[in-house]
Amino acid sequence: MSLCTSNLHPSSSSFNLFSHNNNSPKPSLNSLRLATSTSPSSSVAPLKLSTTNQALRSRFLSNRIQSRQLWIRCATSESEPSISVAPGCNGGAVTAEERVIVLVIGGGGREHALCHALKRSPSCNSVLCAPGNPGITSSGDAACVPDLDVTDSSAVISFCQKHNVGLVVVGPEVPLVAGLANDLVSADILTFGPSSQAAALEGSKNFMKNLCHKYNIPTAKYKTFSDATAAKEYIQEQGVPIVIKADGLAAGKGVTVAMELEEAFESVDSMLVKGVFGAAGCQVIVEEFLEGEEASFFALVDGENAIPLESAQDHKRVGDGDTGPNTGGMGAYSPAPVLTKEVQDVVMESIIHPTVKGMAEEGCKFVGVLFAGLMIEKKSGLPKLIEFNVRFGDPECTDDASRVQSDLAKVLLAACRGELKGVSLDWSRDSAMVVVMASRGYPGAYEKGTIIGNLEEAERVAPGVKVFHAGTGLDSEGNVVASGGRVLGVTAKGRDLEEARERAYTAVGQINWPGGFFRSDIGWRALLQKQVASKD
């Protein structure tokens, strides 16, 4: 018997999705439901993706409380930051000539990187970050607001109105799926991030797969299950290697690439029987294994138009040589040689544009950043969609934040207004690399509270080095300590990938953190490709 339980209930504003596999006739997406019965084709009550989704809100609030407990020494003056406002600036009326106050929601490495990039934007008057983290505060990249409860939409709206915030940028996926952007937009506050309905592209892998099927977006063959026995029978038929994914949000840990049947069966049982991911794992998607090279592709979307960002390649496995379990990302580099101009054009035409158009046709225009996790297939050299995320990638965002030269605030405002057509971004010609330092034991159980030293020294080892904080806090003596699994994103720019890599690892070597670890081979695919090309 499954231990999975869910408190998701019908809603007039919810998306109705039926479990579906891509071997059957294409239904209308608006008539689809998420199945949670023992049959992969049975229908149940629709999934509610709104601010009343208590499962998501409870999880986000729990993380928020932990962050407050660890970050006990954040300057109290940051709770009510002093803000000067450009004349005429308010939440709903911002012209291209005005400078806006930007509020970034979140407190991880992605949010630190966004604050760093927005701080350099000529259109940005000042940057606030809630809750933020000690690294954001100490670097001066933003004024942190640790006491703002970002799980409470009314509190965020009140704060924005009080401080004349002209743009809100929502970093993490959980508040987006829970509906924070819906509430902010309803209050006439310009918000970069999709509605809860559009965020279903990440909140439900089954929804994403069904959209791909209906609009002919290339992705792996799949089938969705809520019954463990049926899932195992299908896996037995398909053979290994095979991929098992939790349907909902699982903090980057809900994917198993099984090379043996036993491993695949254990993954199914852990999700559908043991309920290790709770409601997020009450359905599993079983996918064919795609062989090739993974890459990350980002596009800014205004509901109808999309413009590409620079390419990047993440390293998901925890160990050198791409070994061990999947993580939220152990490092990345940009640009990614595997995403040639030709391949990027194919991604825009076959994946991004059909998705934007399809979401609009389904009545939930997507506004925000669309993050396509891709597999560039070994046989064909063509891209297939692995998954969508509805926010900037972490750690890829740190590379993009280091390389972007355009006025990021101005571009994000254009996206919020539906004015991206004809817009382009300028990028540094330098390469960038980020090496993630994580707490020992991650992605499993890890120790919190270990002291980290020499962070300022690390940033001085070479030009273009920046240490982004992802999971840090302060102890009672003011020491920077680890408060999460992935803790630091040590990022460096260089004339080429080799120089960026050398600088990043030199900086890593300066950091005094016995309780941490890192991969020593970030960028190995691109460097190997370059070596092979030079020999030819």
Q: Which residue has the higher pLDDT, 61 or 531?
A: 531
Any idea which fold 226-281 has?
Answer: Dna Ligase; domain 1 (3.30.1490)
Q: What is the DSSP letter of 349?
A: I
Give the whole-angstrom CA distance, residue 19 versus residue 285: 10
Looking at residue 532, its pLDDT comes to: 64
- Averaged pLDDT for residues 143-169: 97
Domain residue spans of the chain: 99-194, 226-281
374, exposed or middle or buried, with CB in 10 Å at 0-12, 13-18, 19+? Answer: buried
Which pLDDT band, with edges at 50, 70 and 90, does 77 fall under? very low
Q: Which residue has the higher pLDDT, 53 or 12?
A: 53
- Averaged pLDDT for residues 301-308: 97
Could you give the percent of the chain with pLDDT greater than 90?
A: 74
**Cβ–Cβ < 8 Å for 56, 249:** yes
Instruction: Record the tokens describing residue 31, joined without a space.
Output: 């008539």
Looking at residue 397, its pLDDT comes to: 94
**Residue 32 clears pLDDT 70, i.e. is over it:** no
Chain-centroid distance, C-alpha 417: 23
Choose among 246, 247, 222, 248: nearest CA to 235: 222
**Sign of the CA dihedral running 482, 486, 491, 496:** positive
Q: CB neighbours (10 Å) of residue 319? A: 15
Which CATH architecture fits 99-194?
Answer: 3-Layer(aba) Sandwich (3.40)
**Residue 263 clears pLDDT 80, i.e. is over it:** yes
Interstrand relation of 331-334 and 431-439 (parallel, antiparallel or unpaired): antiparallel
Which pLDDT band, with edges at 50, 70 and 90, does 277 fall under? very high
What single string gives the DSSP state of each residue in 484-523?
A: SSEEEEEEEEESSHHHHHHHHHHHHHH-B-TTEE--S-TT
Looking at residue 11, its pLDDT comes to: 32
**Residue 83 clears pLDDT 90, i.e. is over it:** no
Q: Give CA torsion, residues 335, 336, 338, 339, to 10 deg.
A: -50
pLDDT single digits (tens) 197-235: 999 999 999 999 999 999 999 999 999 999 999 999 999
Give the whole-angstrom CA distance, residue 191 versus residue 103: 9
Looking at residue 373, its pLDDT comes to: 93
Q: Which residue has the higher pLDDT, 432 or 250?
A: 432
**Residue 39 clears pLDDT 80, i.e. is over it:** no
pLDDT single digits (tens) 461-513: 999 999 999 999 999 999 999 999 999 999 999 999 999 999 999 999 999 99
* Backbone φ, ψ for residue 395 (5° rounding): -105, 0
